Structure 1
């Protein structure tokens, strides 16, 4: 009997949700708000499958395994050269293919091998090459496009990749730049490195911080139309229903709106999935087929959202007295209690406190305590903000008419105002904490380079058989190259095979040699000995005039070297100094005339370039020259520091997620603002009918938004700084506050609210008409 009564009351609530034009508008607004949150939740549940799909695609096309053994040539082997490049900071994956037989394996996504002078490209690269922006890149990739790489051969819809035909790659087979393979998709040997505890902490905090605003918005969306709902419930009390029945009817309304929100959310997700296939965020792109939510997680969302809607509605009704003659909400409300609101953040701090000081060496952080502690601190924002708004607006008074209208409205419904900005406050608090944590641990995952980027900006290895002077001259003629330092490098031994003494030899002109050592007077034909340099112990012994030494001696177990003999001429002494690589270069420094011609084949050439950074696309101009010098080459760009790949991927994931959450924040705030304006349309029309200026009403709406957002952002800053400090203490990192970043986070939050307010002005102006007083 009781179950039947419950079912009847819930069904009545569902009917009320879709009764009349007003009911449909309320239901649709609630469904849109809930649907936006559901769409982002579904996107989150799809992330694991998207990452797995990208990894599987990458493994399926693996060609360089860096194995110590090279398979023999057969009709089923393929020569592959890594010819990837970079264009304006965008990485381009490139391979040169030369099949050695009819059964050579095709790479995924490629129907047939391109011939020499031909290439197949990804759709994104084809679009770039055919655009006006791709003119410089076309000089580097002049091959004729004969096809496109299909989806199975790409990890993302915007990936830049190509395969081109190759010739005579066997002569450059080294297992590194050029390899022979029997199939694609071989696993790279070795086990993955264990995750650093601090990086795992970052991942946990990122997920909590990104998902908490979503939950807050869903909870706020199910309370849309609360005042109209309470009036309907009062009418039910008038015809004889009791309090329990009215609550069940209210739960039915919320249940109907949340289920409709699930439908809207599924539609938003499907639309967003298609849009994701054509979008690229922070150089990350996916295919729509990647975004398949986990069935278990999707089912959890489908159950959790309606349940949360019902619980939030019942929780909201706990302080509302619904009587047959109306709702006791317009009378003076009982002041909100503070004590239990403070318990939430204090409990969060208590959960995080045991892990303070662990750092990277203290073992794993307890993931349950981390998630629980961060959640309680952020939920504390949503609990404290209504109390703060109520306490502050109760003390506000005199001012302009627009100010008084806004303050009085906030005094009557401070809870509604707080709910509007709760989500943005939670997002800003989490963003500040994450910004502090990322900035604090950044140095731990950043390795400073020894490369002196003030002297050299790019470096290239010259291929064997090409004269170094010829390559250097090509770069000197390149626009934007200010200086070229060219060196031939190798090793000398005191005997032909298995020498006990060895030293480095560097060949270059006087200007180049002065960059790596302190020389006395220098002219072509001189030889210098630099002793006492780091890791150099044999130069003093070997650098004796008249002594015979050997270029490229042979060592046991290694291929036979050149073993070119050289009788040392007179040797001048030079002093070691830090070269452009950050180390001391010892050994013999030789000018070109002093070097025996037979020794050139045993040396490798390196070209170091100083660039004029004011020249547009100077690095791409250098890369074009490098491709002309050696089609298989790719010059190296020097950097002052390098970050951990995992740290960078987490940071990129945060930026992508934050962009999605920010879009949700803006859309949800706009829906919430429109819902509040719709609830007040009769009041606004009455004020206009009595002669209130539209400018005054518009300013009052702006004040109603500005006051809560200022209070919310202030609270968010305090909570964010507290959470950030605790997280830094957990990682044993000194607490430093980057106030510029804090102001930037709060400014972004305020900017989103200001933008939403401006977008809501046109509907506001349409509502401010006397005709709005008409009713049926």
Structure 2
């Protein structure tokens, strides 16, 4: 008996699938619309399942070129390598200076040989940049001859700007220089904290759920015309169960074709990923390989879902030989069971409120709770639209046409809105969570960007005697207004193994005024800083010095090289002055002095920091300054001062959210347009008949807009309510107070409404064509 039933099921599904491609122009149109809608969703699902693997491949390549295998013993198998990264137009330029110490020195990944002194090997993206007109501004920073290209295995992505340059001057033991005997990452990975893991999990759920909703809507295209075809099957003897299975087979045929469309779109889009700036360094097409298990899951789930959704939606449709009961007013929808899913979602999330922040959240419980809460929108929205439109009445002709259409078949109008509502609700919840935890991953640096925009660090191998010429060279660069250079070290209270240290800063009077409030200053003066704790929490003041106190420059410790400590006595008449935060926001303490007030110091005792103030009205002033810094000494390290410091992982998650949101937004727009075309095609004869009876086209156009606006307004209202509720629960889960950025909530809602309005506007030209009398023709 069960075998016969299985055979009957298979026979009916195959027959329906055959009808989907042999039903004439109408059948093909419906099948293609379904395939396009499903294909768009499948392609995005495949891209999403491939992203973790692509990120993993990028991480693996980054690990293979890391230089953690440091050794103290030089030999034929060791390499000196210096990191000298730079920035060009907000893009990172990875720079490494290399000097092999023997024939067996480890070769960096992606290189076929070592570049010699004065030579460099560059990434394809950097080579293309240098060949362009834009790259002329970068050339002064790279005084090397290009002799080769870095291979894919040595780069994170196709758009990475990177080069290896040969050097004969770097030495072991210098700042920023490492002596290694191999490449690779031997360091344990720092685990992601629970809040970021929660953010990533919510992002995947929120981005993928609208895709699933749109796929479910796509397999239901052409429902009304399909029902009339099924009535013909009833007329020749098929029973109700058979016709429902045949209808499911039609949806199955479109879904299977949609799988192939999705595969084509995925592989076509994958070939373009290296041409599109996904992430700063891009993604190699070969990295986008979906997980086999997830791909099989999509391939199985989509056809099964198409059959299940069709059978579920037809449970209330009675197909008779002479017509379909759907043409009459459908029974009222019940509310109670529609509340089960959102309440169950809240029940899953509620136990995690107040959980220890350092404890990982149960990922399955979080995903299940969020999915149930958001899917609850798709169950509640049809009831809400039906409840609202049943109470709407008179008005203009266009309004009455729209309301009557919604009262008779609100479900068709709700389907495309479901995806928008789910996406907006998820976006509001995510934005609320991001806003709530942002302070944990972003903090003000205290830097004063009005006083300086660049900070330049000088390694110990750059002699202090060269600093005046370096400062002069930087000052002469185009767009540089002002340069301040500060040298600092620490004084010990004893010549060997001191118990305490005092900060000493040395500079001319103009530079000292950047860190202290001086009324008078001459060369030879010494001042004692009074640090004000109210100025900044970023303070390295340390213990204060006293007039007449004896101190030692270069005090000896167990780890210090055998240099003589230099005794120095703080002048008894040294006045105390108030400290001022430096351009980087640090409030210094200790002693400040002009150069002639100190004895002659051995090289390497002082560390030098330079602040550069730019004329931002000069085009590319910061790039000219960076060029001058590199020309002054290639080992100088320029750093851009920023008012806000953002955690790298948090920034990566936020960037990923932006990319994913853009992709989902494009899917929403495309799917809505396909859905709108399907609905207009279904009503082509009705629209043409109304025009033939004298209805103005403007009235019909307005009625179509009203039919879109009413469900969207109700859907966005429900989405805002659900999104805010979910956002509040997520904030309580991570121990943050419940507060909302209402501007972001309005923006998310406005974007959703704008997408729908844009799609509706694009559908108006086809609407005008469908209103022509030719639309009354039939076969």
Residue 50 in 1 paired to residue 49 in 2? no
**Aligned-pair distance for 1:367?**
2.1
Residue pairs, 1:579-598, within 5 angstroms? 579-580=581-582, 581-598=584-601
Measure the CA separation in 2 of the matches of 1:574 and 1:470.
Answer: 32
Residue 508 in 1 paired to residue 510 in 2? no
Measure the CA separation in 1 of the matches of 2:68 and 2:626.
Answer: 23
Q: Which runs of 5+ in 2 are unaligned?
A: 533-539
Q: What corresponds to 1:754 in structure 2?
A: 757
SS for the counterpart of 1:92 is strand
Q: What corresponds to 1:384 in structure 2?
A: 380
Q: What corresponds to 1:423 in structure 2?
A: 419
Q: What corresponds to 2:536 in structure 1?
A: none
Residue 679 in 1 paired to residue 676 in 2? no
Measure the CA separation in 1 of the matches of 2:397 and 2:72.
Answer: 84
> Cα deviation per residue 1:329-354 (whole Å; 9 max; x = unaligned)?
11121111111112221221122112
Residue 364 in 1 paired to residue 356 in 2? no
**Aligned-pair distance for 1:31?**
0.8
Residue 557 in 1 paired to residue 530 in 2? no
**Aligned-pair distance for 1:558?**
2.5
Q: CA RMSD in A?
A: 2.3
Residue 460 in 1 paired to residue 456 in 2? yes
TM-score by length of 2: 0.93
Residue pairs, 1:507-586, within 5 angstroms? 507-519=506-518, 521-530=520-529, 536-537=542-543, 539-540=545-546, 543-544=547-548, 550-561=552-563, 563-564=565-566, 566=568, 571-580=573-582, 581-586=584-589
> Cα deviation per residue 1:484-526 (whole Å; 9 max; x = unaligned)?
2212212334555434564332211112223323445321122
Contact 2:458–2:637 under 8 Å retained in 1: no
Residue pairs, 1:581-660, within 5 angstroms? 581-599=584-602, 601-660=604-663
Residue 60 in 1 paired to residue 60 in 2? no
Residue pairs, 1:406-485, within 5 angstroms? 406-463=402-459, 464-465=462-463, 466-485=465-484
Contact 2:78–2:180 under 8 Å retained in 1: yes
Measure the CA separation in 1 of the matches of 2:529 and 2:15.
Answer: 94
**Aligned-pair distance for 1:275?**
1.7
Contact 1:728–1:735 under 8 Å retained in 2: yes
Q: What corresponds to 1:259 in structure 2?
A: 256
Measure the CA separation in 1 of the matches of 2:676 and 2:32.
Answer: 14
Question: Which residue, 736, 739, 758 being the options, matches 2:742?
Answer: 739
Give the total of aligned pairs.
Answer: 764
TM-score by length of 1: 0.94
Q: 1:598 to 1:277 in 2, by over 3 A?
A: closer
SS for the counterpart of 2:575 is strand
> Cα deviation per residue 1:659-683 (whole Å; 9 max; x = unaligned)?
1111111111111111111112212
Q: 1:204 to 1:421 in 2, by over 3 A?
A: same
Q: What corresponds to 2:537 in structure 1?
A: none
Q: What corresponds to 1:727 in structure 2?
A: 730
Q: What corresponds to 1:149 in structure 2?
A: 150
Q: What corresponds to 1:228 in structure 2?
A: 225
Q: What corresponds to 2:74 in structure 1?
A: 72
Question: Which residue, 280, 283, 287 being the options, matches 1:286?
Answer: 283
SS for the counterpart of 2:528 is strand
Q: What corresponds to 1:166 in structure 2?
A: 167
**Aligned-pair distance for 1:284?**
5.4
Q: Which runs of 5+ in 1 are unaligned?
A: none
Q: 1:561 to 1:449 in 2, by over 3 A?
A: farther
Q: What corresponds to 1:26 in structure 2?
A: 30
Q: 1:763 to 1:70 in 2, by over 3 A?
A: farther
Range that drifts further, 661-670 or 55-64: 55-64
Measure the CA separation in 2 of the matches of 1:682 and 1:562.
Answer: 99
Q: What corresponds to 1:101 in structure 2?
A: 102
Measure the CA separation in 2 of the matches of 1:520 and 1:753.
Answer: 65
Question: Which residue, 198, 202, 205 being the options, matches 1:201?
Answer: 198
Residue 405 in 1 paired to residue 422 in 2? no
**Aligned-pair distance for 1:744?**
0.6
Q: 1:385 to 1:114 in 2, by over 3 A?
A: same
**Aligned-pair distance for 1:698?**
2.4
Question: Which residue, 331, 336, 343 being the options, matches 1:334?
Answer: 331
Measure the CA separation in 2 of the matches of 1:590 and 1:559.
Answer: 25
Q: 1:439 to 1:568 in 2, by over 3 A?
A: closer
Measure the CA separation in 2 of the matches of 1:107 and 1:360.
Answer: 40
Measure the CA separation in 2 of the matches of 1:227 and 1:659.
Answer: 33
SS for the counterpart of 1:635 is strand
Q: 1:762 to 1:201 in 2, by over 3 A?
A: same
Contact 2:270–2:285 under 8 Å retained in 1: yes
Contact 1:576–1:585 under 8 Å retained in 2: no
Contact 1:282–1:655 under 8 Å retained in 2: no
Measure the CA separation in 2 of the matches of 1:141 and 1:699.
Answer: 62
Q: 1:502 to 1:52 in 2, by over 3 A?
A: closer
Contact 1:562–1:602 under 8 Å retained in 2: no
Q: 1:345 to 1:569 in 2, by over 3 A?
A: closer
Measure the CA separation in 1 of the matches of 2:590 and 2:6.
Answer: 92
**Aligned-pair distance for 1:702?**
2.1
SS for the counterpart of 1:283 is coil
**Aligned-pair distance for 1:609?**
2.6
Residue pairs, 1:165-184, within 5 angstroms? 165-170=166-171, 173-174=173-174, 177-184=176-183
SS for the counterpart of 1:135 is helix
SS for the counterpart of 2:613 is strand
**Aligned-pair distance for 1:605?**
1.8
Measure the CA separation in 1 of the matches of 2:366 and 2:490.
Answer: 55
**Aligned-pair distance for 1:483?**
3.0
**Aligned-pair distance for 1:269?**
0.9
SS for the counterpart of 1:608 is strand
